[in-house]
């Protein structure tokens, strides 16, 4: 068990569905990787292009200040740490039970 926190959403990382994110893309000498929830990681890459990540969103502060990410964080805050779904982005409306 790890009690590390996700740098994006601030929830504990837990033990499943964990990815690593390079704040600075590898091609631009970014070496540092940060453990992050898979769902949070996916959100970052669906919200921003590589170029936007490089130019603007290379700090957690900048990422978290973005409107889209803020509403994502508010949404994911109520989910358990290992929560992951592929259907979150855009097309989850037909998932109603
Ligand atoms: Zn997270
Ligand atoms: Zn990444």
How much distance in Å is there from the Cα of 38 to the middle of ligand 2? 9
C-alpha span between 80 and 62 (Å, rounded): 25
Ligand 2 ion local residues (Cβ < 5 A): 21
State how many domains the chain has: 1
How much distance in Å is there from the Cα of 96 to the middle of ligand 2? 30
How much distance in Å is there from the Cα of 37 to the middle of ligand 1? 4
Predicted TM-score (pTM) of this structure: 0.81
Owning domain of residue 78:
18-84
H helix or E strand, kind and range, residue 42: helix 38-47
Q: Is residue 71 part of a domain?
A: yes
Q: Is residue 7 part of a domain?
A: no
User: pLDDT, tens digit, for every residue of 5-47?
Assistant: 999 999 999 999 999 999 887 777 778 899 999 999 999 999 9
How much distance in Å is there from the Cα of 78 to the middle of ligand 2? 23
- The 3-state DSSP class for residue 33 equals strand
Taking a C-beta distance cutoff of 8 angstroms, is the pair 83, 40 a contact? no
Q: Is residue 47 part of a domain?
A: yes
- The 3-state DSSP class for residue 60 equals helix
What was the pLDDT predicted at 39?
96
In percent, how much of the chain has pLDDT > 90?
64
The pLDDT of residue 65 is above 90: yes
Neighbouring CB atoms inside 10 A of 95's CB total 9
């Amino acid at each position: 068990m790890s009690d590390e926190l996700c740098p994006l959403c601030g929830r504990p990382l837990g033990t499943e569905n964990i990815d690593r994110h390079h704040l600075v893309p590898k091609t631009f000498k970014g070496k540092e990787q940060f453990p992050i929830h898979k769902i949070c990681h996916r959100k970052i890459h669906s919200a921003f292009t590589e170029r936007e990540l490089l130019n603007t969103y290379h700090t957690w502060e900048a990422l978290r200040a973005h409107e889209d990410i803020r509403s994502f964080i508010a949404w994911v805050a109520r989910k358990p740490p290992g929560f992951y779904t592929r259907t979150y982005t855009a097309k989850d409306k037909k998932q109603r039970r």
